[in-house]
Structure 1
Amino acid sequence: MDATFWALISLIIFLAILAYLKVPGMIGRSLDDRADRIRNELEEARKLREDAQQLLAEYQRKRQEAEQEAKDLVAAAKRESKQILAEAKQKTEEYVARRTELAEQKIAQAERDAVSEVRALAVDVAVAAAGRILADKVDDKTGGDLFKSSVAQVKSKLN
């Protein structure tokens, strides 16, 4: 009996001990358990991926809504600023028109006042001049007659 024979016998005994101790079943169960764990991890990863895709889609939708809302806010602000600008322009024009009209009224009143003053001054100068002329040309008797006739005219107009 040579060494090859004993090596074969040892191998057969070793394999029999392994079969008796159910090592191949334990290895199979271990491999099956590991395959189940890997399968479960893959399933969990697939679910996480789906959840992540749903979250991504939801965030993208929310981002689009926020962008649209921001655009709407900007458009509303632009419309409001244009409206405020138009109102301010209109109020400014109305204010300028009122101030111009008031200034024109003041100028017209000043012109009337100046004309009245010039007329009053002209009347005063004319009366003074007429008084000097009459004083130089009319004597006391003629002055008295003129005075009496003037008083009579005034009385007749009053009655």
Structure 2
Amino acid sequence: MEFHLDATFFAFVGLVLFLALVVYLKVPGMMARSLDDRADQIRNELAEAKRLREEAQHLLAEYQRKRKEAEAEAAHIVAAAEREAEMLTADAKKKTEEFVANRTALSEQKILQAEAEAMKAVRSAAVDLAIAAAETVLAKQADAKVQSELFGNAVSQVKTRLN
């Protein structure tokens, strides 16, 4: 057998030397370690992504619960405000009715008082007129003796009323 030193032989020798150099420099171990590190990194990233996803779902559920609670509280606040508005409206209506009733009663009382004062003024005017007429009639018909007796009677009546 004869060895030929042709290009194929040198390519084979180069390949063997390259593989020996690769094994000597521990390239397969470095590659395996690099791949293992990359796999660990990917595994860690996946675990972190899973943890973040679970945390996001938890936060989403919590925010949805809080939103529902806030909506329920808002509904309670609106209902309470409506009830309070109804109460205030009823109270205002009641107070208005009371005010109108009081003003009506006061007006009626003033009217009655004005009527009483008018009646008193009419009576006073009638009494004054009757007194004036009586004076005129008595002055024309009564003599001095009758006038003296009437004056005495009037003075005695005034004294008894004042005492």
TM-score band w.r.t. shorter chain: 0.7 to 0.9
Task: Choose which of 61, 72, 75 in structure 1 pairs with 2:76.
Answer: 72
The one-letter code of the counterpart of 2:35 is L
Residue by residue, what CA displacement relative to the aligned partner does 1:72-95 show, whole Å, maximum 9, x if unpaired?
212212211221221122112112
RMSD: 2.4
The 2-side partners of 1:123 and 1:56 are apart by 98
1:145 is displaced (CA, Å) by: 9.8
- More deviation in 42-51 or 86-95? 86-95
CA distance in 2, matches of 1:49, 1:140: 131
Could you tell me which runs of 5 or more consecutive residues in structure 1 were left unpaired when the two chains were aligned. 155-159
In structure 1, how many angstroms separate the alpha carbons of the residues matched to 2:136 and 2:91?
66
TM-score, structure 2 as length reference: 0.79
**Identity over aligned residues, as a percent?**
59
Deviations 1:53-85 (A, max 9, x none): 111211121122122212221221221122122
- The residue aligned with 1:41 is 45
Which of 99, 103, 107 matches 2:107?
Answer: 103
Q: Write the letter of the residue equivalent to 2:49.
A: A
Q: Is 1:91 the counterpart of 2:95 in the alignment? A: yes
State the Cα distance separating 1:28 from its structure 2 match: 1.6
Q: 1:21 aligns with which of 25, 46, 50?
A: 25
Give the whole-Å Cα distance in 2 for the aligned partners of 1:146 and 1:119: 27
For 1:14 and 1:98, locate their aligned partners in 2 and report how far apart those are by CA, in whole Å. 117
Moved over 4 A (4+): 144-148
In 2, the alpha carbon distance for the partners of 1:77 and 1:22 equals: 80
2:132 corresponding residue in structure 1: 128
SS at match of 2:109: helix
Letter in 1 for 2:13: I
Relative contact order higher in (CA < 8 Å, ≥ 6 apart)? 2
AA matched with 1:110: A
AA paired with 1:62? K
Q: 1:145 to 1:12 in 2, by over 3 A?
A: closer
TM-score, length basis structure 1:
0.81
Q: CA deviation at 1:138?
A: 3.8
Identify the range of structure 1 (31-40 vs 124-133) with the bigger mean alpha-carbon deviation: 124-133
Q: Structure 2 CA distance, aligned partners of 1:95 and 1:84?
A: 16
Q: Which position in structure 1 is the counterpart of 2:160?
A: none
Over 3 Å counting, the alpha-carbon distance change for 1:121 and 1:20 in structure 2 is same
1:52 partner amino acid: A
What is the distance in 1 between the residues matched to 2:99 and 2:147? 63
